[in-house]
Each structure stands twice: as structure tokens, then as C-alpha cells.
Amino acid sequence: MQLNCDLGESFGSWTMGLDSQVMPYIDQANIACGFHAGDPDVMQRTLQLAKQHNVTIGAHPAYPDLNGFGRRSMQCSHNEIINLLHYQIAALDGMAQCQGLNLSYVKPHGALYNDMMSKPAVWQAVVQAIASYHKPLKLMLLADNNRHTYQQQAAELKVALLFEAFADRRYTDEGKLTPRSQSGAVLHDAAVLAQVSELLNDGSVTTASGQRLALQADTLCVHGDNPAAVAQVAQIRQLLQAVR
């Protein structure tokens, strides 16, 4: 299983995350493309870090919501979603090529990610945006109990999927992420390591109600927002290496 992390989410003089500290531990960097965070200088520095540590790069596009950090849903038409995705993906893709790097996948951010997983019209727009991009890219989405449906629909458009699980989020019985507004939605410390161990050893997670839910994931989402989070990513990397 790979480790992925949302990076490049600083903007101007405002800094978000400890990108240089977490990059050595991950396999995939989801790099913000300017609509929820990131700017040309931040994108450039993040790409350089990824190149230095031989980390695969992916675009992390969002709704155009800089003030809300991309966490607010927006009413966009089918074509608007396709266009805003192409715009952001192409920006990072072009900058990556200038450094001799190859963009390989797309992971939507925040509200766009949530809408993609809950609203069929948004899912269709996102997957069609990836299918109509000028080169093949994989699409990263949440591993849940609708895996085969997503695979079938994406295969019709010749889009390959990457399914991700979350190290620090509690799951519902339906395989969705418990909303952050609810108590216990975010896991900490030993609970994170326990969930990762269960995923690696048993291919399952324990939901909020105590049920065991089978999950097939290709990649695990981690965070590097603070020193404690980075230390935990290092522990997760050790768990992965032990399994390998």
C-alpha cells in the first residue's frame, strides 16, 4: 500500500503543513493547484521536493474557493467542473514537465471530493474530465462498498482508479467518512495506528458502530500538518515496511 499526502497548500506568506518534513515518508504527493491553496511559487517548491525524494505527483484540484480552503460545496455545471479541473490539472502538469516530472493522477480536494463521492452528477463530470484530458491520468477516490460500480463506470471511459483509505478518520457502516462535525470523526495517536494495522493485516476498518468493514485500498491518506502528525506518518511508514 502506498502513502499519499495533501501538500503544497501554502499561499503567499501563509504557510500550511510541514511539506519538507513529511515528503521523505510518502509515496504520492497530492499538490494543490491554486484554487483552494497553492500559488506558482508554492507549486514549484513542492514539485522540487517531490523530485528530490522520488515521490509520485498528483494534481489536487478544488472548487474555486480560496477563502474557504475549498471546503464549501459550489453549484457548478457539468462543463464548469470539467473546465475548472482541466485548468488546474494543466497548470500543475505544465510546471511538472518543466522539471522533467510526470503527472500521474488526480485527487480532488475537499468539497469537490465529497461531492464526487455523494452526487452522481459531480462524479460523472469529474471522471469525464479525467477521460478527456490530453494524456492518461488515474483518478483517486474513496475506497468504499461501491468500489465495483465506480470501476465499471470509469472503465467505460478508460479511466484507471486509485482507491484510498484514511489513516485518521472514523468510518461509517456504509464506508463513508464520519463528518468532522460529529464527535470521534478524527482519530488520534494509538487509534490511528490501530486502524492502519487493521487495514494492512485484515483489509478492514472498525466503523463508528463497532462493525468491521472490508476495504480494498491502493493507497493510504496521511497528513503532515504539524510535528506530531509527521511523527505519526513516520510510524505508519514503519508499519508498512514491516508488512512488506
Rg (CA), the chain: 17
Residue for cell digits 503544497?
A: 8
Residue 232, SS3 per DSSP: helix
Distances in Å between the alpha carbon of 15 and those of 19, 38, 148, 225? 10, 10, 39, 10
Question: Would you say how long the chain is, in residues?
Answer: 244
- Quick one: DSSP state of residue 122? H
**In whole angstroms, what is the distance from residue 170 CA to residue 191 CA?**
10
CA atoms of 90 and 162, how far apart (whole Å): 20
Terminal C-alpha separation, the chain: 9
pLDDT given for residue 13 in this prediction? 87
Contacting residues for 30 by C-beta, under 8 A, at least 6 apart: 4, 5, 6, 7, 58, 59, 60, 107, 109, 140
> Distance from CA of residue 21 to its chain's centroid?
18
Predicted confidence (pLDDT) per residue in 146-187, tens digit? 889 999 999 999 999 999 999 999 999 888 888 888 888 899
The whole-number average pLDDT for the span 132-139 is 98
Quick check: helix, strand or coil at residue 22? helix
At 244 the pLDDT is 66
- pLDDT tens by residue, 191-230: 999 999 999 999 999 998 999 999 999 999 998 888 989 9
Whole-prediction pTM value?
Answer: 0.95
Contact 171, 205 (CB under 8 A): yes
With a cut of 80, say whether residue 243 has pLDDT above it.
Answer: no
pLDDT > 90: percent of the chain? 84
**With contact defined as beta carbons under 8 Å apart, do 208 and 170 qualify?**
yes
pLDDT tens, position by position, 90-132:
999 999 999 999 999 999 999 999 999 999 999 999 999 999 9
- pLDDT in the model for residue 144: 87
